[in-house]
């Protein structure tokens, strides 16, 4: 189901090349792993020398769409963009769309994870519920956009565990499991992640 979309039929992707509108290497690896087995050739925005647009949106959806649109218009090819983050219940949904910014200009996610842990400690609560949220946007050069939203629920642990994945993965334990995304085999994570949830919707609507 496409969340927030009103058209009954989504546009099908007939092109065989896709620009991945991200400069985040971890996201590029995960998205390429989802798309390439379907026969699409993927090119990163960085490889094309495209600038990374400022994320001025107030939602994951808005940020994913502005990045996908910028890449599609600049490259003349369909572009796929992801905007995602960690939402912690006891922190009012923070860091949310500011998840990357909590890591600072140096993208220091060790510091960002510690900041989450410290903020939780300051609340004096025992609520560790959290979720990863992802908005995935596919934009064509004519400006048409299809957007899908996925999520995965879990809890925050501290200290961080595992060195797989990226971002906040080492402090997130998905519901029904006792290991973090940082400890999990990448294929297992890809099967259940927020990004995989959004991608399944995209696949059913636009790619299959």
Residues forming the active site: 83
Beta bridge partners of 83: 135
Place of tokens 């919707």: 201
DSSP for residue 64: H
Strands 79-88, 129-139: pairing kind: antiparallel
Cα gap 72→53, rounded to integer Å: 12
The token duo for 91 is: 């922190």
Cβ–Cβ < 8 Å for 137, 5: no
Residues 133, 139, 188: CA angle, nearest 5 degrees: 40
In three-state secondary structure terms, 118 is helix
Contact 133, 95 (CB under 8 A): no
Query: Residue 16 CB: number of other CB atoms within 10 A?
Result: 10
CA angle 161, 164, 170 (to 5 degrees): 30
């Amino acid at each position: 189901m496409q969340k927030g979309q009103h058209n009954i039929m989504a546009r099908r992707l007939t092109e065989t090349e896709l620009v991945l509108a991200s400069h985040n290497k971890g996201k590029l690896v995960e998205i390429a792993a989802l798309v390439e087995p379907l026969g699409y050739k993927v090119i990163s925005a960085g490889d094309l020398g495209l600038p990374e647009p400022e994320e001025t949106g107030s939602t994951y959806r808005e940020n994913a769409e502005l990045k996908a649109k910028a890449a599609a218009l600049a490259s003349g090819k369909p572009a796929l963009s992801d905007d995602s983050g960690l939402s912690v219940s006891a922190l009012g949904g923070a860091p949310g769309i500011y998840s990357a910014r909590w890591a600072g200009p140096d993208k220091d996610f060790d510091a960002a994870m510690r900041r989450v842990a410290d903020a939780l400690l300051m609340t004096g609560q025992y609520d560790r519920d959290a979720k990863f949220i992802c908005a995935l946007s596919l934009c064509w050069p004519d400006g048409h956009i299809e957007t899908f939203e996925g999520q995965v629920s879990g809890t925050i642990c501290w200290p961080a565990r595992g060195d797989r994945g990226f971002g906040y993965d080492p402090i997130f334990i998905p519901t029904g499991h006792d290991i973090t995304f940082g400890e999990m085999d990448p294929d297992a994570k890809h099967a259940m992640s927020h990004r995989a949830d959004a991608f399944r919707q995209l696949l059913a609507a636009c790619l299959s």
